[in-house]
């Protein structure tokens, strides 16, 4: 499986942009980059995904480098409610009839007032 490397933790000031990096140097050409987050005691929440192009939705932006070996999730105006563990996933292990998201350790993002 393609491995991901994320910082263990990051801090961000409330109202500022939070930029969460992820390295995935072994990603293959047809693998998507996914970002999920998990707020304490809740289920993981899907944020965004991308293949080659940068993507934006109502929650975040995803910037993927041209060689696809790394990406950055951007929360444009972080709030206290964005404090969570953020998971970068680049491999969904294919099974015959389904798929599995492989979650790593993630980055603990602490948004501080």
* Angstrom distance (rounded) from CA 106 to CA 96: 27
Q: How far is the CB of 108 from another protein (least distance, A)?
A: 13
Spell out, one character per residue from 19 to 58, where the chain touches another protein: x when CB under 8 A holds, - when not: -----------xxx-x------xxxxxx--x-x-------
Of the residues 3, 77, 100, 112, which one makes contact with another protein according to CB under 8 A: 100
Does residue 7 bind another protein (CB under 8 A)? no
Q: Is-contact 90 34, C-beta < 8 A?
A: yes
Q: Is-contact 74 61, C-beta < 8 A?
A: yes
Q: How far is the CB of 42 from another protein (least distance, A)?
A: 6
With 0-12 / 13-18 / 19 or more C-beta atoms within 10 angstroms meaning exposed / middle / buried, residue 35 is buried
Applying the rule CB under 8 A, the residues between 55 and 94 that interact with another protein are 92
Does residue 105 bind another protein (CB under 8 A)? yes
* Angstrom distance (rounded) from CA 1 to CA 45: 22
Does residue 103 bind another protein (CB under 8 A)? yes
């Amino acid at each position: 499986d393609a491995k991901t490397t994320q910082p263990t933790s990051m801090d961000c000031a409330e109202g500022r942009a939070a930029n969460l990096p992820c390295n995935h140097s072994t990603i293959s050409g047809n693998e998507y980059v996914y970002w999920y987050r998990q707020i304490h005691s809740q289920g993981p929440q899907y944020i965004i995904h991308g293949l080659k192009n940068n993507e934006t939705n109502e929650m975040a932006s995803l910037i993927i480098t041209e060689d696809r070996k790394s990406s950055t999730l951007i929360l444009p105006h972080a709030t206290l409610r964005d404090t969570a563990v953020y998971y970068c996933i680049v491999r969904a292990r294919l099974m015959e009839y389904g798929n599995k998201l492989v979650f790593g350790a993630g980055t603990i993002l602490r948004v501080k007032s």
